[in-house]
Amino acid sequence: MQDTSNLTLDKIQQAALDEFLEKGFRGASLRQIVKHAGVTTGAFYGYFSSKEALFASIVEPHAQAIMAHFIQAQLQFAALPKDEQPSHMGIESSVCVDWMVDYICDHREPVKLLLLKAEGTSYENFVHNIVEVEVEYTLKYVEVLRELGHQVPKLDKTLCHIIASGMFGGIFEVVIHDIPKDQAMRDVGQLRAFYTAGWLALMEEK
């Protein structure tokens, strides 16, 4: 059985989730959150120091889980022997993306806050930060290919950023538009195949 403290915390976070989803972080009213949670303002401050701290309590576990898993996949690929990386191109990322789609579909509401309602918080650049990691490791892989003797055409960082932004924007559409998980997995699988083929075409030796 939950104790009273945990029940109060749950009520505050649920009221906050509803308010943030409707109005975003900037537009959300702390007064309304407290009212709908059925607690006093004084009780609220016994749990959270600010509206942003409350927002963070909802989204941080999910931001951390997604980013940590994504970075781990990048590190695992980069740790492969260089001559094995071309044959693994797409395998680790496929596993990571499947995990990501499964995760975000299972945590739709807090992930929506993270993606759509975080303006004015430290989370508003979350997708941009993922894209930056993707670009960094893409360019490292290009250098590996060149070290292996492949004549890879010049790929500007700006182009890599545009492509990665499109890919992750597409992945997160499944949450933004409430696509059912089975359909989301199929759609993103095809999206991943599309981008993998595109990367391979860009990296073809001339």
Q: Does 21 share its domain with 71?
A: no
The residue segments making up the domain with residue 112 are 57-202
Q: Does 102 share its domain with 41?
A: no
Q: How many domains does the chain have?
A: 2
Q: Does 44 share its domain with 70?
A: no
Per residue in 162-178, pLDDT tens?
Answer: 999 999 999 999 999 99
Of 178 and 200, more confident: 178
The pTM of the full predicted model, rounded to 2 decimals, is 0.91
Q: Does 44 share its domain with 72?
A: no
Q: Does 32 share its domain with 3?
A: yes
Q: Does 117 share its domain with 149?
A: yes
- CATH number, domain of 2, equals 1.10.10.60
Q: Does 44 share its domain with 64?
A: no
Q: Does 20 share its domain with 63?
A: no
Q: Does 22 share its domain with 62?
A: no
What average pLDDT does the structure give for the chain?
A: 93
Q: What is the DSSP string of 21-75?
A: HHHHHHH--HHHHHHHHT--HHHHHTT-SSHHHHHHHHHHHHHHHHHHHHHHHHH
**pLDDT of 70 above 90:** yes
CA 28, CA 30: separation in Å to the nearest integer? Answer: 6
Q: Does 90 share its domain with 19?
A: no
Average confidence (pLDDT) over 10-18:
96
Q: Does 109 share its domain with 149?
A: yes
Q: Does 18 share its domain with 102?
A: no
